[in-house]
Amino acid sequence: MAQDSRATQKGRFDRWFEVEVVQPMADFDDRKQEWRRLVSEFVGTFFLVLVAAGGGMMGQAFPDTIDRGAAVVAPGLMVMAIILFMGKVSGAHLNPAVTLAFSLRGDFPWRRVPGYIVVQLAGAALAAWFLTVVIGVSSSFGSNYPADGWSDWSAFTMEAVLTFGLVSVILGTASGAQNIGIVGALGVGSYIALAGLWGSPISGASMNPARTFGPDLLAWDFTGYWVYVAGPILGAVVAVGMAFVLRGYGGGRSGSGAAQGALYTEVTKPDQA
């Protein structure tokens, strides 16, 4: 009887501390739920640009309140938070260069690329509009332009190298060889902050065509914008090549899950981790 009592108590204890695995609703895996991904990317990019462009614009409106260190660290912290709260829905790309890299890697279906890029640009534009209305200064103060006295090519090289590092970190933490989730958020967010701390004086350390597009659109000043499209794309392509050298082909379960989120994830190479 005593053993039965202890077994009953143990069963109750196990149930109290058991982690419940909640299965997704049947329609959550329906392809019609693609809008969830798009909303996630739109909102995530909105908040990223809100912080990234907001630092420069707020500093212009309130002089001597936000230094360069705070302005470049804030986007890294925001990206960290966004990955944690919506990464499972859309993969938290927030960046056309990242979306292209995941597709080149084989972790993200090409048919989803146009929708992702459109909502990323739209989210960035809405953030720039919001900042312009609320703060009351030109969004050009929150954009990225090559530094005075430095050529577009210097800024292009900086953006390409910085994005190569960023996408390498993203692809690395999205592989079966590494941890994803919290560790991925820490890695990506930390890299963005560190890259901005040393690389921002020349190019602004955008590493993201959408992040620069939003403020440029509202200010209608696309000076040197090609730098912030071509540089990140080149860096992303090189990072995909490096990922192949280090880990072989993509398309495995971990990489696809990190790139696509949890909505009907497509795995092209299910035998790979």
Domain ranges of the chain: 31-260
Contact 186, 193 (CB under 8 A): no
pLDDT of 37-54, one tens digit each?
999 999 999 999 999 999
For 73, other C-beta atoms within 10 Å of its C-beta total: 20
State the pTM of this model: 0.85
- How high is the pLDDT of residue 16? 40
Q: What residues in the chain have per-residue pLDDT under 50?
A: 10, 13-29, 177-179
Topology, domain 31-260? Glycerol uptake facilitator protein (1.20.1080)
Contact 124, 139 (CB under 8 A): no
Instruction: Using the CB atoms, write b or e for 178-210: b if 16+ within 10 Å.
Output: bebeeebbbbbbbbbbbbbeebbebbbbbbbbb
Q: Which residues contact 244 (CB under 8 A, 6 or more apart)?
A: 250
The answer for 149, left when phi > 0, alpha when psi is -120 to 50, beta otherwise, is left
pLDDT tens digit string along 167-211? 999 998 876 544 455 778 889 999 999 999 999 999 999 999 999
φ and ψ of 266, to 5 deg = -100, 125
